[in-house]
Structures are given as C-alpha cells and as structure tokens.
Chain A
C-alpha cells in the first residue's frame, strides 16, 4: 500500500513539476525568439576566380539562416581588403546580388605577396539592423591557364598548361566547358602532368552560333592553393546554327511551318473568304438593283 502511495505521489509531483516548468520554458523560448527578431546572425564565405591576364574575381557570399535554411542576402555592402602580415589595404566595396554574392574584380599583378608568393584577401560585412556583421578570408597563390586549340584531321582537342608564376602546377584535376545559355556544359576532363599540361579531346557535334563559334573554357575548381582558375578561348568548332528566323528549316518546331500546312491553311482561307467576298458582292448588287434609278 505504502509503495503504491509513493508511486502515486511521485506521478503527482512529476505532473505538477511539468506543469510548473512548462510556462517557464515557453517564456524562455519567447525571449529567445525576440532576440532573433532583433538581429539575425549572418555568415560570410570568400572565394576567388583567377582568369586570363591576372584578372581576379573575389566573390563574397553573405548568408543567414532563415526558416532553417541558409539563404543568400541581397543588397548588402561588402568591403574587400588585401592583407599582409603587417598591413591591411582596402580594395573597394561591392553589393550582394539576389543570390547574396558580392563580386569585386581586381588584378593579381597589383596584389602584395608574402614570402611564399601567396596573396591574402579579406571580405567584411559590417552588419545592419537586421543582420549581424560577418567576415571571411582566403589565401591563394596566383595561377593561370594557357590554352592551345589543336586541330588534327577532323578531330579537335585543347591543350592546356597550368602555371603558377614560372612554376608548372602538376596533378590537378581540370575540366573543359562550353558556355551555353544557362549553365556551362562540361565536355571533358583531365589531369595536369609534371609540366602542368593536359590535353583534352573536344566533341565535334556541338551546335554553335551562326558562324559555329563556341566559347570554350578550362577550369580548375576550388583548389586549396589556387582557388578557382579559368581561361577561355573562342573557336569555330561548332555546327553553325543561325538564330535568324528565315534561316530555320520548315518544321513543326521552327518558326517556319511545313509547306503542306501553310498551303492547307491558305487554301482553306482563300476558299472561305472567297465565298464571303462573292456573297458580299452579290449583296451590293441586290442593293444596287433596288435603287429607284437602277431597278
């Protein structure tokens, strides 16, 4: 009996405790909620794309957790810096786009280096009423591609050389892309040898513009040492596809209808409207004949 009473009492205490705690928990949650409404924590990340002639695109992505998902924050001002052990120089400012990315373009040739030939960058978002400030940095070595387009009989290939200053960059995975309307189309991949070279075959059946031009680019993706490195070349290796409406073939999909369809349409239209015209003409005759002078 005594044991069952103790158990019952324990349940009661537990229940009371739960009831007593519950409101406190709710209040605590509310308070946290209010804090979040005041200022959301933002996060920054910095990446860099190295292009031909030492052109550098510094890309700072500013995000925040909204509805449990990290979302890019548009319209925020981000300041970019280049840093050394002893100094920090502002390069300039850029505003984030609809994806939350602020892009600042500069040139590697003008950037200070450390003893290991490394460049260091730093991007900072100061914060505003809605979002807290955040910053990110990146350190990378300069690198560039040299592209050579090779044509042999009817086959094409791209020979690329990846160099960091005068040093070849070996054993890096590189890919070849063609610029398309929405996203780049990957057409091949390879790995650089000890001379920093790789030769990648290129397809012969890609549609190009009216002259067959294709914008081909090689890319080293998100390397720890070099960031992203890109270089492009334009070659007339594609099948010419005209964007002029009158050059398109007669087909169901093209702006020019098949001939039989056009003829059927015209025959039907001429037949029907021809009848209308004859009938309207006859009505005019009826009217004319009924006029006092004419009939």
Chain B
C-alpha cells in the first residue's frame, strides 16, 4: 500500500525500537522475569500445599487475588471504553492515544482473569462452572461477560492494527526487520492494500466495533459489580454498585493510560507525538471522572452512614476507625478524589509530570479502594462466628499472595514491553497528513 512521507518519517522514528532489543530492555525484561519466577514458586507452593499458604480462611474467602482481578479488569474496561469513545467522537487529538488505550485494554484483560484462577482452590473443578452453570448466578454472568469482552477487545484492537501491519509489511527498507517479522506482518495485514472497498469495509468494522464496545463495557463492568451487589452483605448490597464500578473502571483505566503515555514518552522520546496538550486533555478527562467518582463515593457512604443499619454500621465503623481501615480509607479518598481534582484545578499544576503523578497516586488509591471493598465486608459476617480464630476474622495477605500480585504486575509490564517491540505505540496509519 502507498505510504506517505509523513508515515515513513514516523516509521523511521520508531524503527530502532522495533528492530533492536537494547541492553537496557534486556535488563528490564530479566528483572520482570525474575519477579515472575518468584511468583511461579509461590504458585507451586500454593498448588502443592493448598490455599493454607494464603491468608484466605473461612469468612474472608477473598483477598488480594480478587482485589487484583477487579483492578486489572477495571483498567481493561477503562482502556476499551476510552478507545471506543475517542474513535466514535472522532476526537482530533486521539491519534497517539488510541493504540495505548487499546493495548492497555487487551493486556489488562489477559492478566485480570489469571487472578481468578489463582483464587480457585480446586482447579480440578473449574469445568463445573461451565457444565453445571446456572444462569441465575452472577458468577456465571461474569464468566460469560469477561470471555465475550476479551474476544471483543482483541478484535477491536486488531481492527486498528491492520492498516499499520500493512504499512510495516510494505516498509521493509525503512524498518529492516528480520524475515520472520515480515512474514508475521504479512499474515496479520490480511492482504490490506488500502483499496476503496477495503477502506470502507475496515471503517465500517471499526465503527461497529467501537459502537458495541461502549455498551458492552458498561454491561460487563456492572456484571462484575453485581457479584458483590447481588449478595445481601453490608458494604456490597448497593443499587449504585453497577454505575459506581463502571465509573471506577473507566477512571482507573484512564489513569493507567496516562502512566503508559508518560513512560513511553520518556523512554522513546515521543515528545513530538505525546505532547503536553495530550496530557492536559487526559487530565481533563481524569478531572471529570474523578468528580463523578467522588460524587458516587460520597453518595454511597453517606447513605449507608445516615441509615446506620446494624450491619452497614459495622463495616462503616471499620472504614472510619483509624485503628482498623480508617487511614487507608482516607488515603484512598485523598489519592482518588482530592489530588486529581486539585492538580487539574490550577493551570500551573497541569504539567505532564504532575498529571502523571496524580494519575499514579489515583491508580494506587483505586487499588486500595478495591481492597477496602472486598476485605472489610468479608471480615463482617452476617452469621455469628463460631470458630473465632483470629485469622478467620482478620485477613492478612501472606508472602505467597504478594509474590503472585507482583508477578501479575510484572507480567502486565512484560507484555507491554514485548508488544511495544512488535507494534508502534502510535497508530502510524492515522498520520496521513503532517502531524501536529
């Protein structure tokens, strides 16, 4: 297909990153692999000895694994919906962000469900979930939703890669890639030659996919919240849990996209592509989402606190009590609500570094928030506890769970590192004219 001068120039910028695997990259990948190996050892112990090596017991049957699952799958939903919206509304500054958002969606969707597998005590009964599935169970809804979503996310990202694969295929001289890479791009480019008909078919497919991704993310994100909301447990049984989760997912996903943007801008020197303007616009999105998230949070806890039902109060007391989860609850709310809004409120603070710092604190705060959703409620059982061993009442994650948590984060970073060696981090095909 015909490649414009502008696109060739971009390819020349990215060629070294696609072609070479620097020593620095090697050390980085080696470090990530080391973290993953430690995680694998922890997993081996967990399989051999059982879940006794985790902090999960009777009562608190979910811990770090479920927290990480919600965290990663939320990021994925955020990436997907942001990419879908930016595309549908033809937002002019979307070009360098679309690819990052799409890749964030797919890579996170690969990591999240792994934590569910880690949380299942009996691997050998995993297939029961399918052969004995009950359609009334929110767990079954979630399994179906996540599988369907994952296929959609991969397809969605692929649709936005086909043109680029065709460009990589036809830029042998510029990129100078090994034969196997050329062969791979040729296969993935689907004979795309940018004919009028092909362009039309692809454009239609992209629009259709973006259109379906948005409601789908809303549904699957709500389904995730209903795993909690459909129970009668205090802190979970809430009618706003669906929209609360949807918003939290988009919010944390947007935050991670900002972090990825900043990282690639720094390492690949992409100041010409990911400009200050992009960070500012992403910051405004964070501001809007953060305000909405703050409103939902206030509404959720105010309603529970005002009503002061016995069980609700018991959980809320734990969240407000500094000797229990009070400090973490405060940190979570400051990081997720106050700091992002403050940074965006003042013009002087709207710099890429500060916006990224706010996004980083927000993403951490959102992880803490997921912990505060899962654990305190499970530590407050509705039935009186007969066997009152301390570890049954209070959850405390073990090194095995932490090792696997860090291994999950390392896998996320490893996948991103490897994908960035395979495709350009900006969508080359979108830069037909001179980029701004």
Q: A280-B155, A286-B198 are in contact. Are A275 and B212 (CB under 8 A)?
A: yes
Instruction: Assess the B201–A285 pair: CB atoms within 8 A.
Output: yes
Task: Chain B residues near A295: list those with CB within 8 A.
Answer: 191, 193, 195, 197-198
Instruction: Assess the A290–B212 pair: CB atoms within 8 A.
Output: no
Q: Which of A36-44, A126-134, A262-270 contacts B (4 or more CB under 8 A)?
A: A262-270
Task: Chain A residues near B202: list those with CB within 8 A.
Answer: 282, 286
Q: Confirm or deny: B385 has a beta carbon within 8 angstroms of a beta carbon on chain A.
A: no
Task: Chain A residues near B148: list those with CB within 8 A.
Answer: 269, 272-273
Q: Confirm or deny: B179 has a beta carbon within 8 angstroms of a beta carbon on chain A.
A: no
For B, the interface residue count at a CB cutoff of 8 angstroms equals 27
Q: A269-B148, A272-B216 are in contact. Are A278 and B190 (CB under 8 A)?
A: no
User: In the assembled complex, how far is the CB of residue B217 from the closest CB belonging to chain A, in whole angstroms?
Assistant: 11
Q: A269-B148, A286-B198 are in contact. Are A275 and B191 (CB under 8 A)?
A: no
Task: Chain B residues near A289: list those with CB within 8 A.
Answer: 191, 195, 197-198, 201
Q: Confirm or deny: B6 has a beta carbon within 8 angstroms of a beta carbon on chain A.
A: no
- B-contacting residues, A35-53, CB 8 Å: none
User: In the assembled complex, how far is the CB of residue B237 from the closest CB belonging to chain A, in whole angstroms?
Assistant: 15
Q: Confirm or deny: A279 has a beta carbon within 8 angstroms of a beta carbon on chain B.
A: yes
Task: Chain B residues near A257: list those with CB within 8 A.
Answer: 134-136
User: In the assembled complex, how far is the CB of residue B144 from the closest CB belonging to chain A, in whole angstroms?
Assistant: 8
Q: Confirm or deny: B209 has a beta carbon within 8 angstroms of a beta carbon on chain A.
A: yes
Instruction: Assess the A283–B205 pair: CB atoms within 8 A.
Output: yes
> Per-residue CB proximity of A231-244 to B under 8 Å, as 1/0?
00000000000000
Main secondary structure of the interface of B (DSSP, over half): helix
> Per-residue CB proximity of B134-148 to A under 8 Å, as 1/0?
111000010010001
Instruction: Assess the A261–B135 pair: CB atoms within 8 A.
Output: yes
Q: Confirm or deny: A276 has a beta carbon within 8 angstroms of a beta carbon on chain B.
A: yes
CA distance A287 to B198 in the complex (A): 8
Q: Confirm or deny: B423 has a beta carbon within 8 angstroms of a beta carbon on chain A.
A: no
Q: Confirm or deny: B362 has a beta carbon within 8 angstroms of a beta carbon on chain A.
A: no
Q: Confirm or deny: A252 has a beta carbon within 8 angstroms of a beta carbon on chain B.
A: yes
Instruction: Provide 21 A-B residue pairs closer than 8 Å at the C-beta atoms, listed in order of the A residue.
Output: A252-B136, A255-B134, A257-B136, A261-B135, A261-B136, A268-B219, A269-B148, A272-B212, A272-B216, A276-B152, A279-B205, A282-B202, A283-B190, A286-B190, A286-B198, A287-B190, A289-B195, A290-B191, A290-B193, A291-B191, A295-B191
- Chain B residues with CB under 8 Å of chain A are 134-136, 141, 144, 148, 151-152, 155, 159, 162, 190-193, 195, 197-198, 201-202, 204-205, 208-209, 212, 216, 219
- Smallest CB-CB A-B distances: 10 pairs: A290-B191, A257-B135, A287-B190, A275-B212, A279-B205, A282-B205, A282-B201, A286-B198, A287-B191, A257-B136
